[in-house]
Structure 1
Amino acid sequence: MWRIEAREYARQERRRGRRFAFTELVPARTALVVIDMVPFFVSDNPYCRGIVPNIHRLAEALRAADGTVAWVLPAVGERTAVADEFFGPEAAEMYRTSGGTGPMTERLWRDFVVHADDLLVEKSAASAFFPGRCPLPDLLEQREIDTVLITGTVTNVCCESSARDASTLGYRVIMVADANAARRDRDHNATLHTVYRTFGDVRPTSDVLSMIGLLS
């Protein structure tokens, strides 16, 4: 169960006079960024499987409103001594190959379908927005995107890293609370607290659909 503490809502309301920084979005300038929804992370985690319908709803709504859907997969990186030292050789190799191999469309979780106008990219770092480690920022710039909806897994690792870096690059960041997943509620909510406090808004899927214009 996700939550933002009442005191954090109150703190932002005192600072800026409203609960949420971004009260509107322009769908054509908005991208749904879906992080690491691949079998390695999704298959054994009920939290990850639980967010699939919300990601699907957001993707369908944003496409219908002329927005962008961006699927981000882990790249198979180089084996490094630092990763071996940090994780241990066996775990380092497991994470290095977590995104799978073969065509990118076939490496996504089986319930997703990539459409012709969607973006499909790989990242070679935790963040999809770290300079030089993923083509996503350049592709979003070409589409004049100014708002990113962060979804996927794991909330407190790659999703949080992407939200932080997107904010640093000047994007309006909205982390979709019930379209991100971690392994434990407390890990998930710690990231929601951090993002809401410093890097962007935190909204449920229903709020974001209303902002896109699907719900009234």
Structure 2
Amino acid sequence: MGPARPASYGAGGGRRGPFFFEDNDYVRGTVPRINTLATALRARGGTVAWVVPTSRELPPRDVEFFGADIAAMFNASGGKGPVRARLWPELEPADDDVYAEKTAFSAFFAGASDLHEQLQARGIENLVVAGTVTNVCVEGTVRDAAGLGYRVVLVADACAARRDQDHNATLHVVYRTFGDVRPTSEVLELF
């Protein structure tokens, strides 16, 4: 995958957010694949990064657009405390992994997190992206990563959305414009 070490982006999501893991079997089904990718990537000398949303003062735009209750739910979806402790309990982070919080849908949106700086400090040029929600945070992150010059592979079966058509639409958009799209088995072969 080139001279720089690849990185994996695992969007852990919040522990209690209904749009993430707790109430969605499909989303929970991505966990074993994310863990397999993370383990294989580490074994090849790669860097695994975990990103969760952080709570912030609710922007008036969010309250106006979503309504107060939904805006508050989205705002709390990443939980509280250290990033590693906020990952879904079945995910398998390691001490040497990268941990970041984000204040925007994209982990690479300017000023939204320090993920880009952490990856640049490690010489990362290639990203393997997995997580939730495919058509929101994952797509936003992939678009901005490509704009920053990263080579991106989106892992189709290690991401999830609320509806198949939303998930598939993002896979199509990413493949046509922002990066490669492959299943876990093919990404493991690339490692």
Please give the TM-score of this superposition, normalised by the length of structure 1: 0.84
For residue 111 of structure 1, what is the aligned residue in structure 2? 90
Task: Look up the SS of the partner of 2:7 in the other structure.
Answer: strand
Q: Is the 8 A contact 1:28 1:65 kept in 2?
A: no
- 1:87 match: 66
| Residue 210 of structure 1 pairs with residue 181 of structure 2 | no
Given that residues 55 and 76 in structure 2 are in contact (C-alpha distance below 8 angstroms), is that contact kept between their aligned partners in structure 1? yes
After TM superposition, give the deviation of residue 134 of structure 1 in Å: 0.7
Q: 1:102 to 1:27 in 2, by over 3 A?
A: farther
Q: Which residue of 168, 171, 178 maps to 1:199?
A: 178
Match for residue 10 of structure 2 among 23, 30, 34: 34
Q: CA deviation at 1:118?
A: 0.1
| Secondary structure of the structure 1 residue equivalent to 2:30 | helix
* Equivalent in 52, 75, 78 of residue 99 of structure 1: 78
Q: Could you tell me which amino acid in structure 1 is paired with residue 89 of structure 2?
A: R
1:17-96 correspondence runs (5 A): 25-26=1-2, 29-39=5-15, 40=17, 41-96=20-75
CA offset at residue 104 of structure 1? 2.0
- Give aligned pairs, total: 188
Displacement after TM superposition at 1:36 (Å): 3.6
Unaligned runs of 5+ in 1: 1-24
Greater shift, 121-130 or 38-47, is seen at 38-47
Residue among 139, 147, 157 paired with 2:126: 147
Runs ≥4 residues deviating over 3 A: none
Whichever residue aligns with residue 37 of structure 2, its letter is L
Residue by residue over 1:122-166, the C-alpha shift from the partner in whole angstroms, topping out at 9 and shown as x without a partner, is 000000011111100001101111100110000000000000000
Identity %: 54
> Residue 38 of structure 1: CA displacement?
2.9
> RMSD in angstroms over aligned alpha carbons?
1.2
Q: Secondary structure at the match of 1:79?
A: coil
- The normalised TM-score by structure 2 is 0.95
Deviation string for 1:172-206 (max 9, x for gaps)?
A: 01100000001111110000000000000000101
Q: Which 5+ residue runs of structure 2 have no aligned equivalent?
A: none
SS of residue in 1 equivalent to 2:65:
helix
